[in-house]
């Protein structure tokens, strides 16, 4: 249950939309680990194919690694675009702070006996983001309260299959750092010369 107020939910969705663009940019600039971790919020970029357009989309999502699997959740339920894309096209890529991987995604069934425990791990790893959704504290919520507040959530399991390399992944804009640094140094030197 995200919100009792549809306008509030739409505002939250729009806020996430702009925040998501910023997170993807951080990963592309090689700064994916910045502010990302168990003390703040574990975020990865999920690369998925559009179910209608066929285009690749990049969506930051909270996640937890449990065993060899990666789990993430669609807090807006079955209306979530990336969730619907992954159900239609389960071949995905994930950008983590320690690498880039291809994998296959599947939904964890709502009646799976491990669902709540896995979902709790994702919500704990999401840090402050979990409290935005109905004031849930995943560390202390009872099993009943957790199940009630997350009934509409969709839990996705990703089986990583292979490491990826090459163009089109995270850090593809890291080249901007040396270029920007050289440009700024050049401007600084030109400014000093013109003052002499």
Per-residue pLDDT of the chain (196 residues; tens, 9 = 90+): 444 556 666 776 677 677 788 888 988 898 888 877 766 789 999 999 999 999 999 999 999 999 999 999 998 889 999 999 999 999 999 999 889 999 999 999 999 999 999 999 999 998 877 766 556 788 888 999 989 888 999 999 999 999 998 888 888 888 887 888 888 888 888 777 777 6
- φ/ψ region of 127 (left if φ > 0, alpha if ψ in -120 to 50, else beta) reads left
Within a domain: 85: yes
CA distance 194 to 196: 6
Within a domain: 149: yes
Q: How many domains, the chain?
A: 1
Within a domain: 49: yes
pLDDT at residue 175 in the model: 80
Within a domain: 1: no
pLDDT at residue 182 in the model: 81
Within a domain: 59: yes
pLDDT at residue 4 in the model: 55
Q: Are 90 and 40 in contact (CB under 8 A)?
A: no
CA distance 20 to 11: 14
CATH code, 118:
2.30.110.10
Helices within the chain (DSSP H only): 6-28, 81-88, 115-125, 129-132, 143-149, 176-195
User: What distance lies between CA 90 and its chain's CA centroid?
Assistant: 16
pLDDT at residue 3 in the model: 47
Q: Are 107 and 155 in contact (CB under 8 A)?
A: yes
151 phi, psi to nearest 5 deg: -55, -35
Within a domain: 27: yes
pTM above 0.85, yes or no: no
CA distance 154 to 79: 10
Residue range of the domain that includes 44:
6-195
């Amino acid at each position: 249950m995200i919100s009792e107020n549809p306008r509030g939910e739409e505002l939250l969705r729009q806020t996430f939309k702009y925040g998501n663009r910023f997170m993807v940019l951080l990963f592309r600039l090689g700064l994916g680990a910045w502010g990302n971790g168990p003390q703040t919020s574990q975020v990865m970029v999920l690369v998925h194919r559009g179910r209608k357009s066929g285009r690749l989309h990049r969506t930051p999502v909270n996640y937890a690694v449990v065993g060899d699997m990666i789990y993430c959740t669609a807090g807006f339920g079955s209306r979530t675009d990336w969730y619907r894309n992954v159900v239609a096209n389960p071949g995905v890529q994930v950008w983590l702070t320690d690498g880039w991987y291809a994998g296959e995604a599947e939904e964890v069934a709502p009646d799976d006996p491990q669902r709540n425990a896995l979902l709790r791990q994702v919500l704990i790893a999401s840090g402050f983001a979990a409290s935005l959704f109905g004031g849930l504290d995943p560390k202390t919520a009872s099993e009943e309260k957790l199940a009630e507040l997350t009934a509409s959530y969709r839990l996705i399991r990703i089986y990583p299959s292979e490491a990826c390399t090459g163009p089109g992944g995270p850090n593809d804009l890291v080249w901007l750092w040396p270029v920007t640094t050289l440009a700024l140094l050049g401007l600084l030197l030109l400014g000093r010369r013109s003052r002499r």
